[in-house]
Amino acid sequence: MTATSVKIGGDRKVADAPGFTSSWLRPAIDFIRQHGPKLGWGLLSVGLFAGIWELLWYLGIADHRLLPPPHIFLGDFAGQAKNFNTAKRWEIGVDPNSGPTPLMAVIITMASSTMRVLAGLFIAAITSLCMGVLIRYYGLFGKLVLPTVTLLAPVSPVAWLPVAIFLFGIGNGPAIFMVFIALFFTMTLATITQIDSVNRNYINVGRTMGASKRQIYTRVILPAILPGLLVVLRLNLFGAWMVVLVAEATGVGYGLGQIISMARNTFNPGLVYFTIVIIGLLGFTFDFGLRLLQRRVLFWLPKGEGGLSGG
Amino acid sequence: MGDGRQLNGAAPAVSCVGVGKIWNAGSPREHEALTDIALDIDPGEFVVLLGPSGCGKSTLLYLIAGLEEPTSGTISAHGEPVTGPAPERSLIFQETSLFPWLNVWQNVGFGLSVRGVPTEQRKETARQVLGRVGLSDAFEKRPDELSGGMRQRVAVARALAMQPKVLLMDEPFAALDVQTRVKMQGFLLDVWDVSKASVLFVTHHIDEAIALADRVVVFTARPGRIKAIVPIDLPRPRDLTSPALLALRVELTALLRDEVDRAFAEQESMSVTG
């Protein structure tokens, strides 16, 4: 570690000289050179936020019962984790102390919510892409369907909650449905906007080269709208996380939303903040993953275009 | 025949008779882009359309390419009426139109792949036409790795891969710097010489028209109408400082000046009223 830090701060020419740096250190140094400043600012930003909170608590301005600072709600990890009991305690004849260990329960809870977000996001992405393309490809279909889609797009996903319960009862179904319905209409409209804004030259080139309508869609429009669609997907990822919590609060067994709901009912602020931290970290990880995916899929875009550099 | 010249038997490469185009017909934004265009282009002829910006010369190119339909009149190519776009009438655009998600040879072979030509054959054709435009080294490169001039040469190669009979070029070198532009003109003449295709080339640069054209077709400002057709029967490459061409330059400048003034006045009045 000391060797690394010396080389970062030290003279570049010396560090780059052959034989000076052992080969296994090189990737690590490159990684820190490239991402170090960003990582540093990120840590500083979070640290500042937590520090101000701690300070307010220390000065007695922030009530420790309502706004317990990070060192309290994160310090008691074992205690908080006990609340993440994924055993079906409510069923008759089940030992309340049975089920997975608290740590496992936290992981199962996170995985459940993540799975719902992923499933909803995946279904919504595929169906909205198909719907958007169909609306633009078949004129009659578009005239019949587009007004309804536009009408339903601004409806808050919360309004769909009863529908989700009517149709799917409780369990994973309604939560996935909620994520799907929250994204489907807006992403369909986004797909249409993307199709409409494809550079006319690309389409005209396809036409003069003798491409059929179908070929224009599959070989010109689809690759042309892909960058925009991935940006839309990334923006909607946060929406998906917001909605899944609402859906989970209504009784899906277990999930992060259920924990928040329980924390509210049992007046446990520490648990609320603890869960918020988990949700934030999950969302960040997701966004990071989607950005990597973008970079891989959209190899032709120079860095900094198509929202690749955001965040 | 569109412009009444006598041809020896063969049908003209492109023939326009009484062609007009009104955009947004019937709506408040209606405007007449072209009116009563009569023009024949011989097989292998190099014709330049010269006129002020927005005079409809690009519109005529789109109509001949089959991307838009004329409001009145008929257009035929090699005796057949134009009903839609076709690879034998390739259009080359002003701005880069290469697909960024394909590399150079895939771009060049796009038209062939649409036809279902197998990969190996596509690569072979791409290699040939890229050689003709002097870009053999760029075979595997991506479009954003190329300069503007190279990208336009790839676009020309893409058109050549379809063995076009007519090359339609919409201010293809307008976005390039002056030195590159002159180079590209020379290179285009070489390609034209080999391919035997007719070329219809749109520009608002008088020098470009003089360097390239067998005939220069001067357009009026809106609605676009043919004001004059000036033949240039001189061997290429041409010395633009020779007395004959300087005289021609003066003539074309005079023809164009009125139209530029009119177009300018119209734009000013439009920006006041609209």
Q: Mind telling me how many Å the CA of A207 is from chain B's nearest CA?
A: 6
Asked if A308 has any chain B CB less than 8 Å from its own CB, the reply is: no
Distance from CA of A303 to the nearest CA of B (A): 12
DSSP alpha helix (H) spans, chain B: 57-65, 104-108, 110-114, 119-132, 148-160, 178-195, 206-212, 243-273
With a cut of 50, say whether residue A4 has pLDDT above it: no
Please state the rounded mean pLDDT for residues A35-63: 88
The reply to whether residue A210 touches residue B89, judged by beta carbons under 8 angstroms, is no
- Cβ of B56: how many Cβ atoms within 10 Å? 27
How far apart, in whole angstroms, are the C-alpha atoms of residue A132 and residue A190?
8
Q: Is the Cβ of B162 closer than 8 Å to some Cβ of chain A?
A: yes
Judging by beta carbons within 10 Å of its beta carbon (0-12, 13-18, 19+), is residue B242 exposed, middle or buried?
A: exposed
Give the Cα separation of B65 and A243 in Å (integer).
Answer: 50
pLDDT of residue A99: 65
Closest-CA residue to A295 (of A304, A283, A286)? A304
Q: Which residue of B has its CA nearest to A301?
A: B100
Q: What is the pLDDT of residues A120-132, one digit of tens each?
A: 999 999 999 999 9
**Three-class SS of residue A68?**
coil
Specify the pLDDT at position B274: 41
Range A50-56 average pLDDT: 92
Both structure tokens of A172: 């994973």
Q: Give the pLDDT score at B175.
A: 84
CA distances from A180 to A124, A129, A167, A186, A282 (A): 5, 13, 14, 11, 19
CA pair distance B81, B58, nearest whole angstrom: 20
Q: Mean pLDDT score of chain A, rounded to an integer? A: 82
Measuring CA to CA, which residue among A83, A55, A89 is closest to residue A270? Answer: A83
CB pair distance less than 8 Å for A210 and B99? no
Tell me which residue in A201, A209, A220 faces B87 most closely, judged by beta carbons.
A209
Task: Count other Cβ atoms within 10 Å, centred on residue B1.
Answer: 13
Measured CA to CA, the distance from residue A291 to residue A293 in angstroms comes to 5
Q: Which residues of chain A lie closer than 8 angstroms to B84, CB-CB?
A: 207
Closest of B61, B65, B75 to residue B33, by C-alpha: B61
Candidate from A207, A224, A226 with C-beta closest to B85: A207
DSSP conformational letter for A302: P
Question: B215-219 and B226-231: which strand pairing?
Answer: antiparallel
The answer to whether residue A14 scores a pLDDT higher than 80 is no
Pairwise CA distance, residues B60 & B208, whole Å:
19
Counted residue by residue, chain A has a size of: 311
CA nearest A52: which of A273, A44, A311, A268?
A44
Instruction: Tell whether the model's pLDDT for residue A296 goes beyond 50.
Output: yes
Residue A291 contacts B, CB cutoff 8 Å: no
pLDDT at position A195 over 90: yes
Quick check: B100 and A301 CB within 8 A? yes
**Residues whose CB falls within 8 Å of the CB of residue B109, separated by 6 or more in sequence, listed in order:** B117, B122, B123, B125, B126, B161
For the cut 60, the answer to whether the pLDDT of residue A107 exceeds it is yes
Can you give the pLDDT at residue A17? 47
What region, left, alpha or beta, does residue B18 occupy, with left being phi > 0 and alpha being psi -120 to 50 degrees?
left
- A69 pLDDT band, cuts 50/70/90, is confident
| Superfamily of structural domain A80-297 | MetI-like (1.10.3720.10)
How confident is the model at residue A302, as a pLDDT? Answer: 64
Model confidence at A219: pLDDT above 50: yes
> Which of A208, A219, A308 to probe by mutation at the B interface, max B CB count within 10 Å?
A208
CA distance A91 to A72: 33
Collect the ranges in chain B with pLDDT lower than 50.
1, 274
Asked if residue B87 has a cis previous peptide bond (ω within 30° of 0), the answer is: no
CB A292 within 8 A of CB B91: no
d(CA B234, CA B187): 18
Q: Does A209 touch chain B (CB under 8 A)?
A: yes
Please give the structure tokens belonging to residue B137. Answer: 């080294």
The two counts, helices (H) then strands (E), for chain A are 14, 0
Domains detected in chain B: 44-65+83-273 (3.40.50.300)
What is the pLDDT at residue B81? 92
Whether residue B142 and residue A300 make contact (CB cut-off 8 A), yes or no, is yes
Structure tokens at B243: 């007395």
What's the longest Cα–Cα distance across chain B?
59
Domain locations in chain A as residue ranges = 2-62, 80-297
Closest alpha carbon to B248 in B226, B271, B216: B216
